[in-house]
Each structure stands twice: as C-alpha cells, then as structure tokens.
Amino acid sequence: MRWKWLLLEYFVFSRKERLAILTFIFLLLLAIVMPYYCARPAAQWQADADTAWMTAMTILESPKAWHDSMEPSFVKERKSALPARYNSLKNLVAFDPNTHSEAGWLSFGLSAKTVRTIMKFRQKGGRFRAPEDLRRIYGLHPDQAEQLIPYVQIPEPASAATNKFPAKSPSSFSPSPSTLPDINQADSTAWEALPGIGPKLASRIIKFREALGGFYQVSQVAEVFGLADSVYQRILPRLTCKPGQQIRLSLNEAGIEELSRHPYIRRSLASQIIAFRNLHGPFSDLQHLLQLHAMNDSILKRMLPYLRL
C-alpha cells in the first residue's frame, strides 16, 4: 500500500543517517544551553567594570579622595598610629616642654600613652629646641600639637640671648606687636611680630593670600593650614582688611589650569565650569554657576569676590 511505502521511504533511516540526526540534536541542545553558562562571566565582568568606573569617577570628582589614593603607604601607617578620636586640650598655660612635669602634661588633656612617649624622649637625651618640634612626637595628634605650640616657651641659653640680637640702626623698622598693616600688605616680618606666629605660619599666610589673589575679609586668615583657633583669636583684634584689593578671574576667559589653582575652585569644580561654558556658551550672569552639580549658595558666596565675567 502507498502509505506503507511513504512510511518506509521517509521514516526509516540508515545507520549513518541516524548518527547524523543524533549529532544535529546534540548540537542544537548545546546551542540552547551554552548562553546560560557564558552569560555569567560577562555579567560579572560588567559589574567589575562598573565598580571600577564609579571608583575612578569618585576619585576624579573629589580632590581629597585623589590625594588619599596617591598617599604613600608609610604615610598611611604613620596616620594609623594616631588616635581615631583625640581629647580636646584644656587648662593650657605657658610651659617649657623640656622641664614640664608628667602631671602637667596630663593636666592638658593628653593621653597617658602620649605623655609616656614625651617623657621617654626626654630621658634619652632628647630636647625641644623650637615649639614646632612638638609635631615630631609620635602619637601626638597634629591638631593637639598646633594647640600646644603657641604656649611653648623655651628659655634661650645666656650666651645665645646676649649675642643673638645685634644693635638696630635708627633706620631699621620693627612693627609694634599691637598693630599690623593691612593683611593684604603685611610682609612676613609684620606677621611674625604677632603672638603665636612664627616664620612657617607667616610664610603659609602669605602663600595662601597670593593663591587667593588677596583677602577680602579678615576671617579668611583663619583658613590658613596650621593656624590654631586659639592663636587666631589672640591676633584677631590686631587684623584689618581693606576690601576691594583682590584679583578677579574672568569666568569666560580663564582656562582650567588657572581656575584650578584657586583654593576656592580646584580641579573638579573648574572642570564643570569649562564643560558648562563649552556646552552653553559664555556666562552672562555669575549666578548661573548655581546650575553646576558641585555648586551651592555658600560656595558661590565665597567665590564671587574673585570672579568677573
């Protein structure tokens, strides 16, 4: 019969044909299953790539994060030795670190471990020759050192005290401790005449003033790195500032390097200013800076005295 012939013709296979059909079915199943196994490494790689990209962007957006990421390992180890939380110092009075008693150090609010380090340093013949030597004490928090430095009084040897200061000529000028020229005009000699201000702090104040382009108010002096608040409060009544002396940057002409050098702008904000300017054209109003992601009212208020269109 014809249907039997059709059955034998199309559904009866030789040995080679059966092997070919089985091979085809195996390859088909393999093609269906393989994507499930191949997709997992790809997804993991994508997650790792996303994480790496987000980390890189975070570092670029935050100068502090970039600084921390580039910090040498020995610096991180030194910082890890400092206490995570430190006691705010109290009962501070003038003292000589070479003769101050253990009880006296403890009365300032220093930890017993830090005081033991100081006493061992002295017992081994160590001497403090300048107030800034306190910064070298292992385990003493930098902020605590800055609080102590203004109160350090180290007597000078009699011979050194006799010969150190030559007689001044009538033409020489020494600023009075009670007065200071305008903070935008004062040189290092004038700053050093103030209580608690040494050569290093005077240099930092002048460098900060030059980086800003001049002070527009006295309170900016308190932003100088290493200037303790106690010292700032002591010199505050002697500081004066004549406004309108600061140098202004052109918001529409300054390049990224010029903007980045300003302490109130830095690289991340400068990049956003340049990108906004390239996308929207020149700024027509300084208030348009508020449209930037990293900008807010307080930052803009601080920057405005240094900007022009």
- In whole angstroms, what separates CA 165 from the centre of its chain? 40
Q: Is the dihedral of CA 174, 179, 182, 183 positive or negative?
A: positive
Beta bridge partners of 95: 152
| Mean pLDDT of the region 147-176 | 57
- The C-alpha atoms of residue 138 and residue 216 are separated, in whole angstroms, by 38
Q: What tokens appear for 11 in the block?
A: 């559904």
pTM to 2 decimal places: 0.43
Q: What is the percent of the chain with per-residue pLDDT over 70, rounded to a whole number?
A: 71
- In this structure, which topology does domain 180-245 adopt according to CATH? DNA polymerase; domain 1 (1.10.150)
Q: What is the per-residue pLDDT for 144?
A: 83
Please count the residues of the chain: 309
Return the closest-CA partner of residue 59 out of 71, 51, 48, 67: 67
Query: In this predicted structure, which of 56-70, 99-113, 131-145 has the lowest mean pLDDT?
Result: 56-70
| pLDDT over 60 (residue 167) | no
Q: What is the structure's pLDDT at 39?
A: 55
CA distance 272 to 254: 13
Q: Are 195 and 202 in contact (CB under 8 A)?
A: no
> Which has the higher per-residue pLDDT, 83 or 15?
15
Task: List, by residue range, all CATH 1.10.150.280 domains of the chain.
Answer: 249-308
Does the structure show a pLDDT above 60 at 44?
A: no
- Cβ neighbours of residue 273 closer than 8 Å, sequence gap 6 or more: 251, 259, 265, 289, 292
What pLDDT, in 10s, does the model give residues 227-279? Answer: 888 888 888 888 888 877 788 888 888 888 888 888 888 888 888 888 888 88
Q: Using an 8 Å Cβ cutoff, are 270 and 294 in contact?
A: no
Q: How far apart are CA 286 and CA 307, in angstroms?
A: 8
Farthest CA pair distance, the chain: 140
Pick the CATH number of 249-308 from 3.40.50.620, 1.10.287.3510, 1.10.3720.10, 1.10.150.280: 1.10.150.280
CA 63/CA 261 separation, integer angstroms = 12
- CATH 1.10.150.320, the chain: domain bounds: 180-245
Model confidence at 221: pLDDT above 60: yes
Check: CB of residue 302 under 8 Å from CB of residue 223: no
The runs of H, that is alpha helices, within the chain are 2-11, 15-61, 63-69, 73-80, 102-107, 112-123, 142-148, 158-163, 188-192, 199-212, 229-235, 256-260, 266-280, 297-303
Burial class of residue 128 (count of CB atoms within 10 Å of its CB; 0-12, 13-18, 19+) = buried
pLDDT exceeds 50 at position 175: no
Condensed to tens digits (0 to 9), the pLDDT of residues 139-159 reads 888 888 888 888 888 876 544
Identity at 228, one-letter amino acid code: A
pLDDT tens digits, 176-202? 445 567 888 888 888 888 888 888 888
- When pLDDT is averaged across residues 167-171 and rounded to a whole number, the result is 43
Q: Which two tokens stand for residue 299?
A: 């930052």
| pLDDT value for 263 | 85
Report domain 92-151's class: mainly alpha
| Residue that wins the pLDDT comparison between 7 and 73 | 7
More confident of the two residues 48 and 257? 257
b (16+ CB within 10 A) / e for 240-279: ebeeeebeebebeebeeeebbebebbbbbbbbbbeebbee
pLDDT tens-digit series, residues 274-295: 888 888 888 888 888 888 877 8
Query: What is d(CA 157, CA 204) in angstroms, rounded to the nearest whole number?
Result: 29
**pLDDT for the residue 2:** 61
